[in-house]
Amino acid sequence: DDAHSLSSIVLSVDIDFKSLEDVGIYIEASVTEYKRMIVVGITGSLDVLGMWNPEKAVFCERQNTTSNNTETWHCSITLQTLSVFQYRFFLAELFEEVDETSDSQTLNILAWESRLKPREFCLIDYLNSTDKHPLTHTKFGIFDDGNFIQRGWLMSNSE
């Protein structure tokens, strides 16, 4: 119906694993009994972001590991709308349990950004902005008015 071209944006987030330990979230890199994958996801108020359902979220890719326990993750989102949308980052582990009968994935949310008011993104501000980095790059759980990180919960998509 509307003919404007789609815009693709890249949102990125720094995750400081040391600061997660302060909240009681421990991530050991060397768990291999299951295929244990740590994932960073972004969910929000758009269809493409899963409408706040973490299992339909967009998963980010690990970009690089800087010194002192910080990793940068990024994901690319194609926007079909110019309207403002809200989003949150979360950190989870993905268990893939494969047996003869099923191939199920369990998403175990380890931590999420718990600020009541989520992050907002306005494409028009972004397109008009000369310095785009602060609009697309954040630190996990850190907002202007404080730190909002909460421990997660278990979800299974086999229910």
User: What pLDDT was estimated at residue 159?
Assistant: 35
Closest to 112 (Cα-Cα) out of 54, 37, 71: 54
Q: What is the pLDDT of residue 1?
A: 43
Report the pLDDT value the prediction gives residue 59, as an integer from 0 to 100: 94
Give pTM, 2 decimals: 0.84
List the chain pLDDT tens, one digit each, 159 residues.
454 567 899 999 999 888 888 878 877 654 444 556 888 999 999 999 999 999 999 999 988 776 677 889 999 999 988 889 999 999 998 877 777 777 777 888 999 999 999 999 999 999 999 999 999 999 999 999 999 999 886 555 443
CA distance 71 to 34: 23
Give residue 155's pLDDT.
57
Query: If we measure between CA atoms, which residue out of 82, 83, 66, 51 comes closest to residue 13?
Result: 66
* Residue 72 to residue 65: CA distance in whole angstroms: 6
pLDDT of res. 28: 62
**Domain 7-156 falls in which CATH fold?**
Immunoglobulin-like (2.60.40)
